[in-house]
Amino acid sequence: MKAASRALSLFALGLLMLGAAPARERVVLAGGCFWGMEAVFDSVKGVSGVVSGYSGGNAATAHYDIVSTGMTGHAESVEITYDPSRISFAQLLKVYFLIAHDPTELNRQGPDEGSQYRSTIFYTTPGQKAAAENYIRELGRTKTYSAPIVTQIVPLRAFYPAEAYHQHFIERHPDYPYVVYNDLPKLEQLHHRFPELLKPGISLIPKGNSPG
């Protein structure tokens, strides 16, 4: 009886711990080179993890050299894990559309051309899909951009992490010319326009997947 009672107590404790654990959601966003996307979202409060990778194609072609051909169906993407009690999906969309990339560029982003650099939201819940559609309509209504928004909204089928040398690239190579010209201005804009969305004490160059 004592053993059974102890097992029941441990089971109840486990349920309590599960209930106390904060909910986590994830979304995969594509919008050009994943180096800058990763650094931007790694700076945002409530985001506990950002991984650079590929989505839209299959596992066999989820390798940088192959994805770079633009013939795999993959887009360079970032998988974002976040706590919706600390950062809303609408706030993530604001960063995505207004800071992280230009949603009016079709199959390109800045100096990079090809379908692997397309603008795409790979949603994981119906709520994310509806929120993205509503946000795009609002951007159109307010004429935030003079050109049409070309962002695709599709369900996430699979996400494949990129090679290790791509992870936290900006943190390790802040002086790399491509980063200085294309990515650091995005981080500066994030700090200037949305300081309330930054992690406490975050520097201009984020230090990996720091807690939100």
Low-confidence ranges of the chain (pLDDT < 50): 1-5, 7-18, 20
Q: Characterize the bridge pairing of strands 159-161 and 47-55.
A: antiparallel
Give the 3-state secondary structure of residue 120.
strand
Report all structural domains of the chain as residue ranges with CATH numbers, in order of start: 24-197 (3.30.1060.10)
Instruction: State how far the Cα of 156 lies from the Cα of 57, in Å rounded to an integer.
Output: 11
What is residue 205's predicted lDDT score, i.e. its pLDDT?
A: 77
What is residue 209's predicted lDDT score, i.e. its pLDDT?
A: 61
Q: What is the per-residue pLDDT across 105-128, written as a single tens digit (0 to 9) for each?
A: 999 999 999 999 999 999 999 999
What is residue 212's predicted lDDT score, i.e. its pLDDT?
A: 66
What is residue 21's predicted lDDT score, i.e. its pLDDT?
A: 52
Q: What is the per-residue pLDDT across 131-153, written as a single tens digit (0 to 9) for each?
A: 999 999 999 999 999 999 999 99
> Which residue pairs, CB below 8 angstroms and at least 24 apart, start in 133-140?
135/90, 135/93, 135/94, 135/97, 136/103, 139/97, 139/103
CB atoms within 10 A of CB 181: 11
Residue 202 carries which DSSP code? -
* Contact assessment for residue 28 and residue 79, using Cβ atoms and an 8 Å cutoff: yes
What is residue 162's predicted lDDT score, i.e. its pLDDT?
A: 98
Catalytic residues: 33
What is residue 4's predicted lDDT score, i.e. its pLDDT?
A: 45
* Contact assessment for residue 31 and residue 119, using Cβ atoms and an 8 Å cutoff: yes
What's the pTM? Answer: 0.88
The CA-to-CA distance between both ends of the chain, in Å, stands at: 44
